[in-house]
Amino acid sequence: MPLKLDNEPELREAQAALFNINSTCGWVLLNYVGPSTVHFAAGGENFEDISNMLEDDQIQYGVLRLGDIQEKGTLKTTVRDIFFCWIGPGVGIIEKGKKCALLGDAQNILQPFHADITVVNKRKFDRETVLDRSHPLSGSHVID
């Protein structure tokens, strides 16, 4: 069964603000409200606010926009949009299996993005670690 979004207009409005050409930071977050239904739960501009929204007994999906990233070897700065999947420590193994099967649908709902990461440790979910793990040459795309 494909993943459904129950409040698409609200998500699209938040994405329009996030992906605005002048936007250099921000995020949107989806929460499950049923076995295969997600809901646009929140959005914001401060990276630090996301950790407070991540629930230990949930799998949640989101997109982060991080700006002012220095491109190596140039004076140019860039913006990176990163899809993330949060898997809380209280999520059971069967639940993980069911929801991981819907990951591609969540990515389709939240595109476009440059990279994707999985987050399982909230304490290490900071700008520096996200930039490191979302880099194309990063060995691991998991924040654990």
Structural tokens at position 17 = 């603000």
User: What parts of the chain have a pLDDT lower than 50?
Assistant: none
What is the reported pLDDT for 68?
84
Torsion of CA 137, 140, 141, 142, to 10 degrees: -160
What is the reported pLDDT for 37?
97
What is the reported pLDDT for 28?
98
Class of domain 4-134: alpha beta
What is the reported pLDDT for 58?
97
What is the reported pLDDT for 70?
79
Question: What ranges do the domains of the chain cover?
Answer: 4-134
What is the reported pLDDT for 36?
95
What is the reported pLDDT for 53?
96
CA distance 44 to 19: 12
Residue tagged 């629930």 (tokens): 55
Q: pTM to 2 decimals?
A: 0.94
What is the reported pLDDT for 49?
94
DSSP the chain: ---EES-HHHHHHHHHHHT-TT--EEEEEEEEEETTEEEEEEEES-THHHHHH--TT-EEEEEEEEEEEEPTTSS-EEEEEEEEEEE-TT--HHHHHHHHTTHHHHHHHH---SEEEEE--GGG-SHHHHHHHHSTT-S--EE-
